[in-house]
Amino acid sequence: MGKIKVTPCEIEGLYVIEPTVFKDERGYFVETYNQKDFAEAGLNMVFVQDNQSMSVRGVLRGLHYQKQFPQGKLVRVISGRVFDVAVDLRTSSKTYGKWVGVELTAENKKQFYISEGFAHGFLVLSEEAEFAYKVTDFYHPGDEGGLAYNDPEIGVDWPIPEDMELIMSEKDKKWGGLAETFKF
């Protein structure tokens, strides 16, 4: 039924995916994932788990990655607005340490596919946001690593308004920079 538009980002392994939205006077319908459409677009990942979270304005989650069991993630926003970021941790990549950010909203229906080997995080820009994502491997407790969201070596340009107070977990406040990070 639906088709998708896949736009590769400037870093290999990252894609913005825009599904077709069918609207009428009743509302809308959208296929957020169709294995056949993804395969036709050259995206042959296998998802094993779906996750969903809700966060309030100013929450910054990440930048997270799994060390031994890296996960590919297909992320989207169900309600609200977030700035979503992926950082390349693949040491063999010419874009190692580089990042891409995408604004995901309930209105634009964009999705962001982040391949294995990237750190991932997001900042909530709306009063609250519901965030949903599919992953290619199960979560393994004790395997999580992270990067400081404000590591100057990476230089993520987070769109933090002057009146926004960041809300972060204690764990996310303690991550080190790229120089101390696990590398794929």
Known catalytic residue at 133: yes
Query: What residues contact residue 35 under an 8 Å CB cut-off, 6+ apart?
Result: none
pLDDT, one tens digit per residue, over 137-158 is: 999 989 999 999 999 999 999 9
| CATH code for position 61 | 2.60.120.10
CA distance 13 to 119: 12
pLDDT, one tens digit per residue, over 162-171 is: 999 999 999 9
| pLDDT score at 3 | 87
Catalytic residue (one of 15, 64, 65, 113):
64
74: preceding bond cis by omega (within 30 degrees): no
Known catalytic residue at 139: no
CA distance 150 to 46: 32
Contact between residue 32 and residue 76 where contact means Cβ atoms under 8 Å apart: yes
Q: How many domains does the chain have?
A: 1
| pLDDT score at 56 | 98
Tokens 């407790």, residue? 141
By residue range, what is the domain housing residue 149? 4-180
Catalytic residue (one of 15, 65, 113, 133):
133
